[in-house]
Structure 1
Amino acid sequence: MGQPVAFFEITSTAPEKIRAFYTELFGWSAEADPSMDGYAMVDTGAGPEAVGGGIGPSQAPGDTGVKIYVRVDDLEDRLSRAGELGADVLAPPMDLPEGYGRIAVVSDPDGNPVGLWA
């Protein structure tokens, strides 16, 4: 059985502009949360089984764009396997707030960021 896409993230140096673009284009709702440095959780309005996402400010040079997070059973195992397949670790494992699990970000062999979420 394959691993499902669990989350998407859109980061920008102009997060308000990008948030307005996506919410107006697709009818999503996304309110910036000041306690999360302006990060906005996205509700696509597609129901409880839909893949959720977030839109927020860039945290480092070159990190703007769209990335997916794939649900994995064992974060460290998948990080190791990604390395064997030519990935570099962009963000080491970190805990998400409020018990939402752990994430890490790798780059695929073409340099595209891919999030892993356990």
Structure 2
Amino acid sequence: MGQRLAYFEITSSEDAERLQSFYAGLFGWSVNQLPDMGGYALVDTQSGEGSVAGGIGPAMGEAGVRVYFHAPDLDGALKRAEELGGTKVMDPTELPGFGRVAAFADPDGNTIGLWDQPSP
């Protein structure tokens, strides 16, 4: 069975609040800033059960869009990505209460996230 899309992230190198307002207005998303996360906000797409959640915030590096795929064996998935020609760009990082995330660049340079989300 394939791995489901778990999360999306949109980052800004200039004005994260502007992007949060833009996407909330465009798609009717609920955007809730996390006070201790430096301008990062969680996004509820308001699209019902089984929908994918996301986040919009300041870029830590290059701005853009990243998708995260569920990876119950995060370390194994990251190793497999490297075996297939990808490059690790973010070591597994603990998000207290939310599991761990990591990221790799595919052979064409697209950055993809992995998340060992404790429970969907």
* TM bucket normalised to smaller: over 0.9
CA deviation after TM superposition for structure 1 residue 97, in Å = 2.0
Percent identity, aligned pairs only, is: 50
CA deviation after TM superposition for structure 1 residue 47, in Å = 1.8
More helix by share: 1
Gaps of 5+ in 2: none
Cα RMSD, aligned residues only: 1.0
Aligned residue number for residue 10 of structure 1: 10
Alpha-carbon distance in structure 2 between the residues aligned to 1:36 and 1:71: 22
Q: Does 1:110 align with 2:101?
A: no
Alpha-carbon distance in structure 2 between the residues aligned to 1:56 and 1:79: 24
Match of 1:101 among 96, 99, 119: 99
State the SS of the aligned residue for 1:50.
coil
CA deviation after TM superposition for structure 1 residue 21, in Å = 1.2
Q: Which amino acid aligns with 2:53?
A: G
Gaps of 5+ in 1: none
Deviations for 1:53-80, whole angstroms, at most 9, x for unmatched residues? 00010112x2x11111000121111111
State the SS of the aligned residue for 1:78.
helix
Alpha-carbon distance in structure 1 between the residues aligned to 2:75 and 2:96: 19
Aligned residue number for residue 66 of structure 1: 65
Alpha-carbon distance in structure 2 between the residues aligned to 1:17 and 1:97: 27
Q: How many residues in Structure 1 have an aligned counterpart in Structure 2?
A: 115
CA deviation after TM superposition for structure 1 residue 29, in Å = 1.1
Q: TM-score, normalised by structure 1?
A: 0.92
Aligned residue number for residue 78 of structure 2: 79
State the SS of the aligned residue for 1:47.
coil
